[in-house]
Structure 1
Amino acid sequence: MKAVLFANTDWYLYNFRRSLALSLRRAGYDVLLISPEGPYGRKLRNLGLRWQPLPMERRSLNVFRELALLGYLVRLLRREQPNIVHGFTIKCAVYGSLAARMAGIPARVNAVAGMGYVFTSNQLKARILRPVVRRLLRLALGGKGARLILQNADDATLFKQAGLVDPAHIRLIRGSGVDCAQFAGVAPEPAAGGRLRVLLACRLLWDKGVDEYVAAARQLRKQGRPIEALLAGNSDPGNPAAIPDSTVRRWVDEGAITWLGHVDDMRQLLGSVQVAVLPSYREGLPRSLIEAAACGLPLITTDVPGCREVVSDGVDGLLVPVKDGAALADAIRRLQDDPALARKLGEAARSKARAQFDERIVIQCTIDVYTELCHPQEQPEPDSQGRHLSH
């Protein structure tokens, strides 16, 4: 069996799908990873995985360049002859599926983490692209040999209502998985001198709620609260919603936040803070929150699709309205004033992460989808509701 995993960055493959690739290899698959050129390709190869760079530009709208990329993919797939092509994000789902169809590859799996920029942004470019992408998605996701993996029930409803895919071909798998055992020994440090360290770890995109986080930090600072607002992550120049580094530096200069940039050792960082936040506008299923939950940190996030899959308000975290910096500040203040509540929420978050979001669960569910397409006679018995996967 051979599988091709196709993503729009090598960073994504390394950080979110390397465990899947390694598990597939252990299960006897020949695995090829493809993405645009980047520094993480070497890291994938150092793990003994096959990775190949593509002549792909994420933000390109040049018709000739995009047709050339599609042709390149078709030739690659005809040469490799995989049993299955698995694309991640909307652009890779479209291009990978179209190329697979043209190359005669029988099985196509597409994992879409959220609706993406084209469907969530109100910018003119997004509105122009939306009907085109919608038509391409219908073509790419159609056919009995295709399955669409979504990360939350809200996205599943949207895809069904939009008529983008046969509802019978949707599989709900919650996230890309987190190695919860890696974070098992981490415990939140007590606030030194009453000073609360709060962390937002994300790509620096406006739709992650970074502006609202800065507004909350400003408000708490004006109130004289002993709080340190940490921001971990770098900008993503390939994304239209990227926040310029100059803007982030301006926030740092005014003293609103401490910017850590990219952090490799998330385990150590999460062990040094007391609260994790993510005021995102919409998510597939946010890995940063699950990692924080696995450490036993109390979570604050927005009441939006994806985020509310991880947090139940008052049970394992706090939910706040989207685009509301004042409400975010209130939630942070509440946890600072009630350490017992913070501990209770963190313990519940850790239990939920282990039970629902561990990478072993996600990887097995993904392999079950492969089996369903390539070896239907071997697929798992459905549950009482006729589902093959945990919803």
Structure 2
Amino acid sequence: MTERRRSGMNGRRILWIVAEDWFFGLHYLPLAEALVAAGAEVHLAARFGRRGAGHATAIAAAGIRVHPLAKLDRTGLDPRADLGAVDELTALCRRLAPDLVQTVAMKPVIYGTIAARRAGVAARCAWLPGLGHVFTARGIKTWLLRQVVTGLLRWALGDGVTRAMVLNADDQQMVARLIGVPSNRVVVMPGTGVDLDRFTVSEEPAGPIVAAFTGRMLGEKGLVDLVEAARRMRARGIDLTVRLVGAPDPENPTAIPEATLNGWTREGAVTWQGATEDIPAVWRGAHVAVLPSHREGLSMSLLEAAACGRPAVTTDVPGCREAVVDGVTGLLVPPRDPAALVEALVALATDGDRRRRLGRAARRRVENHFSMEMVCERLIALYEEALAVADRASA
């Protein structure tokens, strides 16, 4: 790899390992495009085509070289299959000889980091965008699974990662304390960046107040609490429409079945509209964003709504309180509390001046802290630092 070593990102070979092409396409493609623009040779290893061919087409069109994976499954723990995934990734790392491997999300982070270390890749960055249902759900089975996952993360990352990347201070402390990554290697990233040219401010729509939720249809997003809050508002005669925009995710253990979503719509408490790629249009048609999640990494749905000038009602939990400043850009409520959700939604629904003031402040905050340009610059600086560390270690 020494023949490609030079200053900055120019000529560097970067391999991203992500479970699904659609996940990379939705959240990380602009960052990879920035790396290409900086002169890097960017590769992506993932499963392709689970949600159509569109994401793969866009990824390839961006100049990113793709490597379909056959054995990496983003859910479940199957030792035989998981060992096969490690072997598959190790072979890929040895063949490509990347300067840096970037893994994203739980299983790619664990098995991709192990594979990169086995293959002798010196610069290894692991991005945990959220610690997932394993660290938020309750019950003895989840507790047991959490011990297994924590042990695997400690084995993979404890002294095997150049930089661990998280999205909030709570996760930063957890990665350092529970997983054993030295604190000076754990970096808080400001999300994956909001495209301020795509997400723009618009006037509020006419008609009844609309509160919109965008994201996957998961129980851990607090949807059951939101539906209960909507029922209570309807019973009180409050004229507020709750829209759910997003697709189910059957592979997630907390997925809400389509039958349940359709039942909620028939009941009239909420309206499930399915998935859309035109998220800015969702916010043009809404007055307030709502996300009663149990835990997030850093909620991009809230930041996108904020960029469109929409205040939010969300929970006072990691990943949500970083996206919303209580009383300044939105309102924070306790998690799993439908009554508090009702009061916060009604407060914004009935005070247009306050709602619009919070929305303007929300836009300014995204401009100052979460723009795509800022995140791209931060990522490139982090890579240059990680590569410099690796270069010194191998000198």
Task: State the Cα distance separating 1:376 from its structure 2 match.
Answer: 4.9
SS of corresponding position for 1:31: strand
Task: State the Cα distance separating 1:245 from its structure 2 match.
Answer: 0.9
In the alignment, is the contact (CA less than 8 A) between 2:157 and 2:179 conserved in 1? no
In the alignment, is the contact (CA less than 8 A) between 2:41 and 2:64 conserved in 1? no
In the alignment, is the contact (CA less than 8 A) between 1:293 and 1:353 conserved in 2? yes
Partner of 2:4: none
> Quick one: which amino acid aligns to residue 22 of structure 1?
E
CA distance in 2: counterparts of 1:202 and 1:8, whole angstroms: 18
Tell me if 1:187 matches 2:202.
yes
Task: Select the residue among 284, 287, 293 that pairs with 2:300.
Answer: 287
Task: State the Cα distance separating 1:352 from its structure 2 match.
Answer: 0.3
In the alignment, is the contact (CA less than 8 A) between 2:126 and 2:161 conserved in 1? no
In the alignment, is the contact (CA less than 8 A) between 1:372 and 1:378 conserved in 2? no
Partner of 1:333: 346
CA distance in 1: counterparts of 2:45 and 2:139, whole angstroms: 30
> Quick one: which amino acid aligns to residue 59 of structure 2?
L
Matches within 5 A, 1:1-391: 1-38=12-49, 39=52, 40-55=55-70, 56-143=72-159, 146-184=162-200, 186-192=201-207, 195-376=208-389
CA distance in 2: counterparts of 1:238 and 1:132, whole angstroms: 19
Give a deviation string over 1:144-199, Cα, whole Å, max 9, x none.
Answer: 75210111111112222325211111111121111122223x3142441xx10110
Task: State the Cα distance separating 1:42 from its structure 2 match.
Answer: 2.9
CA distance in 1: counterparts of 2:152 and 2:296, whole angstroms: 22
Which residues of structure 1 form unaligned runs of 5+?
380-391
CA distance in 1: counterparts of 2:115 and 2:101, whole angstroms: 9
SS of corresponding position for 1:262: coil
Give a deviation string over 1:231-264, Cα, whole Å, max 9, x none.
Answer: 0001111111111111111101101111111111
TM-score (norm 2): 0.91
In the alignment, is the contact (CA less than 8 A) between 1:10 and 1:37 conserved in 2? yes
Alignment size in residue pairs: 376
Change (3 A) 1:12 1:289: same
TM-score (norm 1): 0.92
Which residues of structure 2 form unaligned runs of 5+?
1-11
Structure 1 residues 73-82 or 141-150, which shifts more? Answer: 141-150
CA distance in 2: counterparts of 1:319 and 1:191, whole angstroms: 26
In the alignment, is the contact (CA less than 8 A) between 1:188 and 1:274 conserved in 2? no
CA distance in 2: counterparts of 1:281 and 1:151, whole angstroms: 15
Structure 1 residues 93-102 or 362-371, which shifts more? Answer: 362-371
CA distance in 1: counterparts of 2:141 and 2:85, whole angstroms: 21
CA distance in 2: counterparts of 1:376 and 1:76, whole angstroms: 23
Task: State the Cα distance separating 1:230 from its structure 2 match.
Answer: 0.5
CA distance in 2: counterparts of 1:365 and 1:340, whole angstroms: 36
Task: State the Cα distance separating 1:120 from its structure 2 match.
Answer: 2.0
CA RMSD of aligned residues (A): 1.7
In the alignment, is the contact (CA less than 8 A) between 1:134 and 1:164 conserved in 2? no
